[in-house]
Structure 1
Amino acid sequence: MNGLHFTHYSAAASRQYRSVVEDIYRRSYREAIDSGHTFDSPEAFMHRFDAYTDPTRESGIELVIVYLNDVSIGQTWGWPLTPNTAWWDGLTLDGPLAANGDFIRESGTRTFALSEIMVDQSYAGRGLAHRLHDELLAGRTEDRATLLVEPENDRAYAAYRRWGWARVGRLTPSWPDAPTFDVLLMALASRNTTIRGAAST
């Protein structure tokens, strides 16, 4: 696709693009929004976004927006997990990992949490989600990355597997009306680490 460009934004800059973030969400998740599920409502989504970019939280969030001829058509973001992170609260690990108490210990440089990837439905199926994924992770220096995916989201799940992710457990976030997600993990090439014992289901 000619005319594409990817722009990275810090937490402070991300707050200035709040209306753009919401607009992309509305164009990317029309069916989920129409379902009426509280967790998927634009209001709930933006409440979570505001928490992620709260200046008192210092999450270190990085937002990437892809533009086509200056029109925003997709976005992704994430942040490094700090020692006091609540990300792993409620985690149930698979198999041998369940006995590994070190799994959830964070330092601020160990794990990058990839929170969202979305593309305007008018541009779906053109590889933009993968390009956003790679654009966000390419410059990360953490050992590993993690993300959450709904088990029944077959299309996204299949894509993540192709991109190198493996399931390690399940987790229900503390957000109101949150579903239970599968937890995926991927070693980041920048450190050439490996994920041992990750279950593939």
Structure 2
Amino acid sequence: MTEFEHFTAAQARGIRDTVEDVYQRSYVDAIASGDPFDSPAEFMRRFDAYTNPDRSSGFELVLARVDGAPAGQSWGWPLQPGAAWWGGLQLDDGDPAAFTAETGARTFALSEIMVCTEYTGRGIARGLHDELLRGRTEQRATLLVEPDNDRAYGRYRKWGWYRVGALRPGWDDAPTFDVLTLTLPT
């Protein structure tokens, strides 16, 4: 049985070792590739930035447990006015200024969904997705996905996400991602 726990930024920092463990058990192949962006140290540096008390307004982490053992995690936060998230966005269609105008209540940035390799194929990723987005009050959600990550991309499309453009985040060694959005229920 899968159970979900919710954490604020401060609480997530308190389970930092669990967050890193889940990452290492989820991104085995990416870590083994040697890509500096996927190294556990770089991943945790980004996690620390996301949960920094000075910039973590509204951050939420959902941890999935199977029979009490950590099996996956997901997190995100509402984008604030002037959010760096949209930096470098190449929008497929429409007015970039209007698309990226944030109020703090318009867009929820779903930053991570990961499931430990030993738990894949059990619907945990979908459960994490739904649990994190359930009850959100924002109009839409956004996420970034590597264009060649066929498995994740296919699932997101199946769950209703659609591509609106591409961007390369400002993190060192970051790849270029496709930007997907999802209209949230009101």
TM-score by length of 1: 0.91
**Maintained 8 Å contact 1:52/1:59:** no
What residue number does 1:131 align with?
Answer: 127
Structure 1 distance, partners of 2:97, 2:87, is 13
The equivalent position to 1:63 in structure 2, one of 51, 61, 64, is 61
TM-score by length of 2: 0.98
Structure 2 distance, partners of 1:90, 1:101, is 12
**Maintained 8 Å contact 2:10/2:51:** yes
Structure 1 distance, partners of 2:57, 2:30, is 27
Deviation of residue 34 (structure 1)? 0.4
**Maintained 8 Å contact 2:13/2:51:** yes
CA deviation string 1:82-131 (max 9, x = no partner): 00210000000003x2x352110000000000000000000111111011
Deviation of residue 16 (structure 1)? 0.1
RMSD over aligned CA atoms reads 0.8
Kindly indicate whether residue 143 of structure 2 is the aligned counterpart of residue 141 of structure 1: no
Q: Kindly tell me the number of residue pairs found equivalent between the two proteins.
A: 186
Structure 2 distance, partners of 1:160, 1:179, is 19
Structure 2 distance, partners of 1:91, 1:100, is 8
Structure 1 distance, partners of 2:55, 2:143, is 20
Structure 2 distance, partners of 1:63, 1:140, is 13
Q: 3-state DSSP class of the match of 2:48?
A: helix
Which 5+ residue runs of structure 1 have no aligned equivalent? 192-201
What residue number does 2:158 align with?
Answer: 162
Which residue identity does 2:129 align to in structure 1? H
**Maintained 8 Å contact 2:142/2:181:** yes
The equivalent position to 1:186 in structure 2, one of 168, 182, 186, is 182
The equivalent position to 2:77 in structure 1, one of 79, 101, 105, is 79
**Maintained 8 Å contact 2:61/2:73:** yes
What residue number does 1:91 align with?
Answer: 89
Identity of aligned residues (%): 60
Structure 2 distance, partners of 1:124, 1:165, is 21
CA deviation string 1:61-82 (max 9, x = no partner): 1000011121101000000000
Structure 2 distance, partners of 1:19, 1:77, is 16
Which 5+ residue runs of structure 2 have no aligned equivalent? none
What residue number does 1:194 align with?
Answer: none
**Maintained 8 Å contact 2:163/2:178:** yes
Q: Quick check: which has more Rg, 1 or 2?
A: 1
Q: 3-state DSSP class of the match of 1:87?
A: helix
CA deviation string 1:26-73 (max 9, x = no partner): 000000000000000000000000000011223321000011121101
**Maintained 8 Å contact 1:80/1:110:** yes
